[in-house]
Amino acid sequence: MIRSIYIKNYLLIDELEIRFSDGFTTITGETGAGKSILMGALSLILGQRADTSLLKLKDAKCIVEGEFVLDDTDRGLLEEQDLDFEKLTTIRREISPGGKSRAFVNDSPVNLPLLKELGQRLVDIHSQHQNLQLHDHLYQLEVIDYLADSKKDLVAYQSDYAAYRNVSRELERVRGEILRLKADLDFMQFQYNELSSAHLKEGELEVLETDLQHAEHAEEIRTSLQLSARLFDEEGTGVLDQLKEVLLQLNRISKFFTPAGELSYRLESAYIELKDLFSVLEGHAEKAGMEPGRLEQLQERIDLLYGLMQKHRVKQPEELITIRDRLEEKISDLTFSDDKIGKLEKEQSGLLEGMAGLSEVLHRKRVKAGEEMQKKVQAQLRQLGIPNARFRVDVLKTAEYDFHGCDEIRFLFSANKQMELEEISRVASGGEISRLMLCIKSLVSDRKGMPTLIFDEIDAGVSGEIADRVGGIMVRLAGGRQVIAITHLPQVASRGNDHFVVFKEDTREATYTRIRKLGPSERIAEIAKMLSGEKVTEAALSNARVLLGV
């Protein structure tokens, strides 16, 4: 529940602090005094987005800070975010003149989604414009699901529904892809066969082009190699014979000419290397001949590769291998496409069966919750001055599944005996909608266990004895939680344990919104003013005392 709110530099508020008690608190004030400003400031620390238009002084920071009493059910959310859990937790929001917004929980910075999630656990604010939600079938469904306590079943269903949608999309994609590929199957098979029969190898073209160059100059190569071999080993005049003669001469004089020994050693090493080189050269000369037809074979192979590269618009033979493998994969997919579709269809069928079972569980719970809601709302509406009120919840099965199951919810209402039940948007007046919403809020709040409820002029359109009954419902709601009501009704205002009044204060420089807690005598005067207007009469004061029980 809310312990206190501190607001600084927000619209007409320069600075104020409000401390709240448990139970039922009422806030009153003239129209335009700034009651809605208080709710706007509170919504900031509950996660609402903000901008610099909220700043009263454009060069100063706006601060809204609230102290909340938490219970152990909130511990998990804070600890999941590595935030300290404290029974008395401070939530602060700051908006700088530059438009930057920051939020803190117990002085630790947090993001807006977390702030909003925490706020939804702590406070439920209901205002007049939210009455329009009663016209929204999705809101009606959410109300029934709250009352049906069907969250676990709904989460399980939505998990199956999401999986079903994904499988259905994949099945549709696969079917479309297979249909498209089957139309091109013959052409793909032809391309694959052509590439497969080419027996492509990585790096082959470079080797072929080198071999082709050799083949084109085979005779020239053979002639040069044979001549080189003869120059090495020609009898008498060959390089090796000449070196042998030099070695012989050096060895002959080495006994009496010392340098000849070193020269002989070096020349012998050169002789060995040249002899080895001659062996290699001789081997190349023997192999230099070209097999008949080899040149034509090489040229045909190279022409084939270049032809395929041009046909498939690629620059390297390796890219042809990639295309071949991709074609093989697609053809394989088509070959086993029936198996793939069969698996997806089986998975889809299983999910659909699960959805059917869960949606039926949801439907039964919603029907039961709707029947219970009808009785309770109808009884409360009669207490609130609509004696002939009839209220019905229709839970209609739909032909198709959606994110919420296969149900449509319709809230039907009639305030008069002779009028048929119709959807609320067609037949309910503003006052009737306010009372309907109060009944529904009281039921939902009991189910949700919300620690703080705030009613922002929800009692519009009612007066007299009905207003007193509205106050009674709010008092009952405050029995197990904190309830704050912003109201124009003296019958409601008088029911509060505490009573605050919002007013404007004019100075030479500006107009400010103020709020103060009323003492016993001030409260009598305020209730009397609400009863009679600016001119407070003795009769109004007397009535005020009656309402306050003093």
**Is the distance from CB of 389 to CB of 382 less than 8 angstroms?**
yes
Identify the pLDDT of residue 161: 94
Q: Which residue has the tokens 């084109």?
A: 216
* pLDDT tens sequence across 159-173: 999 999 999 999 998
Single out the residue in 275, 305, 335 at which a domain terminates.
335
Regarding whether 99 and 64 lie in a shared domain, the answer is yes
Count of domains forming the chain: 3
**Structural domain contains residue 444:** no
**Structural domain contains residue 231:** yes
Single out the residue in 335, 358, 381 at which a domain terminates.
335
- For residue 421, give the amino acid letter: L
- For 83-135, the DSSP string reads ----SEEEEEEEE-TTS-EEEEETTEEE-HHHHHHHHHHHEEEEEGGGGGGGG
**Is the distance from CB of 126 to CB of 483 less than 8 angstroms?**
no
Regarding whether 546 and 460 lie in a shared domain, the answer is no
Span 64-79, mean pLDDT? 85
Query: Per residue, what are the HEC states of 364-404?
Result: HHHHHHHHHHHHHHHHHHHHCCCCCCEEEEEEEEEEEEECC
**Structural domain contains residue 228:** yes
Q: Which domain holds residue 105?
A: 1-110+451-517
pTM: 0.63
**Structural domain contains residue 150:** no
**Structural domain contains residue 44:** yes
Regarding whether 217 and 95 lie in a shared domain, the answer is no
Please give the backbone phi and psi of residue 335, each rounded to the nearest 5 degrees, phi first: -65, -40
Cβ burial 354-388 (10 Å sphere, 16+ → b, else e): bbeebbebbbebbbebbeebbebbbebbebbbbee
Regarding whether 329 and 190 lie in a shared domain, the answer is yes
Q: How many CB atoms are located within 10 Å of the residue 234 CB?
A: 13
* pLDDT tens sequence across 340-381: 888 889 999 999 999 999 999 999 999 999 999 999 999 888
Confidence of residue 183 (pLDDT cuts 50, 70, 90): low
Regarding whether 200 and 98 lie in a shared domain, the answer is no
Decide if pLDDT at 178 tops 80. no
Decide if pLDDT at 336 tops 70. no
Regarding whether 102 and 78 lie in a shared domain, the answer is yes
Regarding whether 318 and 227 lie in a shared domain, the answer is yes
**Structural domain contains residue 82:** yes
**Structural domain contains residue 45:** yes
Cβ burial 55-71 (10 Å sphere, 16+ → b, else e): bbeeeeebbbbbbbbbe
* pLDDT tens sequence across 78-129: 888 888 888 899 999 998 888 888 999 998 999 988 888 888 888 888 776 6
Token pair, residue 20, equals 């709240």
- For 303-336, the DSSP string reads HHHHHHHHHTT-SSHHHHHHHHHHHHHHHHHHHT
Regarding whether 506 and 491 lie in a shared domain, the answer is yes
Sequence-ordered list of residues with C-beta below 8 angstroms from that of 268, at least 6 positions apart, any chain: 247
Regarding whether 536 and 495 lie in a shared domain, the answer is no
Span 287-293, mean pLDDT? 65
Regarding whether 525 and 509 lie in a shared domain, the answer is no
Decide if pLDDT at 63 tops 90. yes
Q: What's the CATH code of the domain at 71?
A: 3.40.50.300
Identify the pLDDT of residue 351: 93
Regarding whether 469 and 544 lie in a shared domain, the answer is no
Q: Which residue has the tokens 């309830």?
A: 483
| Residues forming a β-bridge with 127 | 456
Regarding whether 524 and 513 lie in a shared domain, the answer is no
Lowest mean pLDDT among 16-20, 289-293, 310-314, 324-328: 289-293
**Structural domain contains residue 97:** yes
Single out the residue in 303, 335, 367 at which a domain terminates.
335
